[in-house]
Amino acid sequence: MLDKVLFIATLAATGCGTSRPPIAQYSSSTMIDSYPLAVSFDASFELSNTNDEPLKLVQYTYTVSVDGNTVYQGFAEAEQTLPRGSTTSTSIPIVVPRTYIIGQGTIERHLSGRLDYLSHGALAETLFDSKLWQPSISIAASDSFVVPPAVFPLTVTTNELVKTE
């Protein structure tokens, strides 16, 4: 049994460890809707793959906070393959309940989490599915927005938010 574990560990370290992780860079947020109970946004990221093989993006797991309070915890299926040597845009949904932003003008919002991905190849997929090796990268975003009026429903398509570092 120990031999099998060492064999899998060696394969994981040598065969699966040769892929570089994707690079995620926050680009912007767009307000989608303003409801009486919440405001929704899409946070956009630029994802780059510097490998000679494609990377399968699996799932985002993230937390959004306002004024130090966690206001949203989300999971979003990535459902895409990042081709070799490419960069693409993607977005994930954010919901901010109005109870955290009532009476405020401009809000600073922070997102932190991870993006799970899968290297190319059957061995990497087997190790990922068996939960022996599940690579991920950190994602982060910070921006501010002006609290919109509560209108049912208000669809906003051009309200780009201010990116802060």
Q: How confident is the model at residue 149 (pLDDT cuts 50, 70, 90)?
A: confident
Whether residue 49 contacts residue 83, with contact meaning beta carbons closer than 8 Å, is answered with: yes
pLDDT at 162 over 50: no
Q: Which of 117, 135, 142, 131 is nearest to 63 (CA)?
A: 142
User: What's the chain's average pLDDT?
Assistant: 81
User: Above 60 in pLDDT, residue 45?
Assistant: yes
Domain count, the chain: 1
Q: Global pTM? A: 0.74
pLDDT of 137 above 90: yes
Quick: pLDDT tens for 66-104.
Answer: 988 999 999 999 989 999 999 999 999 999 999 998 888
State the Cα–Cα distance between residues 82 and 135, nearest whole angstrom. 15
Domain CATH for 90: 2.60.40.1820
Domain range holding 153?
A: 2-163
20 Cβ contact partners less than 8 Å away, ≥ 6 residues apart: 50, 51
Q: According to the model, what pLDDT value does residue 146 have?
A: 87
User: Coil, strand, or helix at residue 4?
Assistant: helix
- Write the CA distances from 49 to 32, 124, 165, integer angstroms: 28, 17, 24
- Select from 92, 131, 128 the least CA-distant residue to 112: 92
Average the pLDDT over 16-42 and give the result: 88
The answer to whether 29 touches 21, Cβ cutoff 8 Å, is: no
